[in-house]
Chain A
Amino acid sequence: MELSGWGRYPRHSSNVVSPGSPRELAMLQRHIPTYVARGNGRSYGDAGIGAGVTLDMRRFDRMKGFDETSGLLTVEAGVLLADLIDRFLPRGFFPAVVPGTRFVTIGGMIAADVHGKNHHWVGGFGDHVEALKLMFPSGQTVRCSRDENSDLFKATIGGMGLTGTIVEATIRLIKVETGWMGQNTVRAENILSAVQLLTANEGASYAVAWVDCLSKGNALGRSLVYLGEHVSLDALQERKPGAPIYPNTRGRGIAVPLDAPGFLLNRHSIRAFNALRYARARTKDELVTWQSYFFPLDGLDQWNRLYGRRGFLQYQFVLPHQTASRVLPEIMGEIATSGNPSFLAVLKTLGKGGGQLSFPMPGVTLALDFPISDSIFSLLDRLDRLVVEGGGRLYLAKDARQRPETFEAGYPNLSIFRQQRRAIGAEGRLASMLSKRIAV
């Protein structure tokens, strides 16, 4: 069957099997020559497409146990973040780290060591994993944690499914008093002032900037910086008396029913949208629901169809602080002059990564969306060179096209990671289209 990631590019054919129990999973793994696990397919490129077979993990969707006092929750790897929040937010618990969509699986979040808008402060999702159960190609299952099989644990956090199939994980949830967020919006004149604002506000629990990539000159990369805090019960009752403490958790949003014509998201429509958004932004402090703060895009189901049949690329890089102020404006300049429009551009600061192949490093990350076009690939090749030269790297969960050299240059722990793979018999057995493309 033809499979793709969220960007719908590239598409590859792969045999999909959906095991229903650990026993069935072990049996399948022993018999299938090469495969990789897949969660909910929310990585953008080819990470979740098996070279040969793809093991769909979504039937591993049972929760196993929860301890109120420690906040430790054990779940199977195919549990959706959305279901976890549905069940635990009304009890006053929230995941310590969430990505920009809640339609991801716990296994997928660990495999990509996803970062939230609070990485500078709490680390990645992997930093809140206490322990995991990992299944090797032989069908053997091992437990790993920071104390037990710790090297394998660090290889698996951010390891993109290439060190074994995560079957189960124990993660730590944080306590929240309400499902509301206090949001402060601050305008930044250009990309560098956005970076400054983000670093100056590292005391905020959550911080993210939305960047306008089509503005030019002095306004190159003008941004809106959103700072967020969980709202206490007292503050909610004072500011929104009578509001539900945990606003609506169910519901999937409105669906985009068909592929939009490819021209819908073009330079002009995006420029108009950006200008409107920037002009309308209010700087005052407001209370918004957890959904609209963390997952604004989830309100529109299958929004990836807006990019038309050809799909789109997501390009996310990180640059260390030392080079970011020099290289970021260069990158923004390249994009603006190339005329390739990016509808979404999101800027965050990151701290140290927790796993051997984790994407984060102390620095600044920018994520961009580009519709597939003839000129986009050469633009991104040029950007790759700037990123590598600046000591940065690209996020594997978003990648669909980087070359092995770019990958090797960005991930210095690659050789230890390869050793781990050899040690558990993963070489040649565990492979995704991503791992083949970038020669992991």
Chain B
Amino acid sequence: MTTQPGTALIIGGTSDIGRSTALVYAEHGWKVILTARNDEEGLREVNHLLTASQAKAELCHLDILDTESFGPFINSLDTLPNTVVCVVGMLPTQSRAVADTAYASLSLRTNFEGPAILLGMLADRFEKRGTGTIVGVSSVAGNRGRASNYVYGSAKAGLTAFLSGLRGRLWHSGVRVVTVMPGFVRTRMTDGMKLSPFLTAEPDEVAEAIYEAAELRHRDIIYVRRSWRLVMGVIAAMPEGVFKRVKF
């Protein structure tokens, strides 16, 4: 079930997970288009891809908050990509997100609104073409809202639900949708946090898992570290009366 190398569009090319994913696609012979909102940082990543892998790579400017720009951005692509992987996200400080509505809104839009609208627009193009793979990086934080991070979690819950609906709408049209639950990953986002080594993946591991799920095994939902399925199973099984009392 291997796919011929095509073109992969990585939304969020400066993220630690995104750049590892770009490298894995490049190593498999794919052409990679990275997007970044910070062009200087984007250029570092594209140069690295070109130098380290000899693949074809390009950079496009994209701010996930600027939904108006999505149409022109998609039209500007020379060819419609075969696969799109969206890794853009933002982990807000919960206490600030509770107190500061503009900040909460920024997180909701970065984690949910922007990715959902962009992936929805690409899905329409893929559907017309009759092929394509859409990969959304969501989070287990969206499986159930917890007191300590529900502003982030609820946005990811929205993204997970959106991807699930999209998958249902498109499955008979030849377009596949993959939801990625990375668990904890050692990246810039989690820098300085104390994370259990058993539950924490390296960015390369997530990247390999994404490639395998999207291009080789055609999975719908993946948990990068299997241990997370168990953890989330336990969390899902807790009655709300108990869950609301648990501090974590």
Contacts and interface: CB of A to CB of B under 8 A. Distances in A.
Interface of A: 18, 20-21, 23, 62-66, 73-75, 83, 87, 91
Contacts of A18: 191
Contact of B51 (A20, A21, A23, A66): A66
A181 B11 CA distance: 43
Interface string B37-57: 000110011011011111000
Contacts of B52: 63, 83, 87
Nearest to A74: B51
B172 interface: no
Interface string B12-49: 00000000000000000000000000001100110110
Interface of B: 40-41, 44-45, 47-48, 50-54, 188, 191
Given A21-B41, A87-B52, A64 B188 contact: no
A117 B238 CA distance: 63
A16 to B, nearest CB: 11
B210 to A, nearest CB: 19
A64 B43 CA distance: 9
Contacts of A63: 47-48, 51-52
Contact of A65 (B41, B45, B47, B188): B47
Contact of B44 (A62, A66, A73, A91): A62
Contacts of B54: 91
Contacts of A65: 47, 50-51
8 smallest CB-CB distances across A and B, nearest first, come from: A63-B51, A62-B48, A63-B52, A64-B47, A62-B44, A87-B52, A66-B51, A63-B48
A87 B53 CA distance: 7
A74 B51 CA distance: 9
A394 B100 CA distance: 58
Given A63-B52, A73-B51, 11 more contacts: A21-B40, A21-B41, A21-B44, A62-B44, A62-B45, A62-B48, A64-B47, A64-B51, A83-B52, A87-B52, A91-B54
B200 to A, nearest CB: 17
Nearest to A20: B188
A83 B52 CA distance: 9
A18 B186 CA distance: 14
Contacts of B45: 62
Nearest to B188: A20
A91 B52 CA distance: 11
A139 to B, nearest CB: 16
Contacts of A62: 44-45, 47-48
Contacts of B40: 21, 23
A348 to B, nearest CB: 32
10 contacts: A20-B188, A21-B41, A62-B45, A63-B47, A63-B48, A63-B51, A63-B52, A83-B52, A87-B51, A87-B53
B106 to A, nearest CB: 21
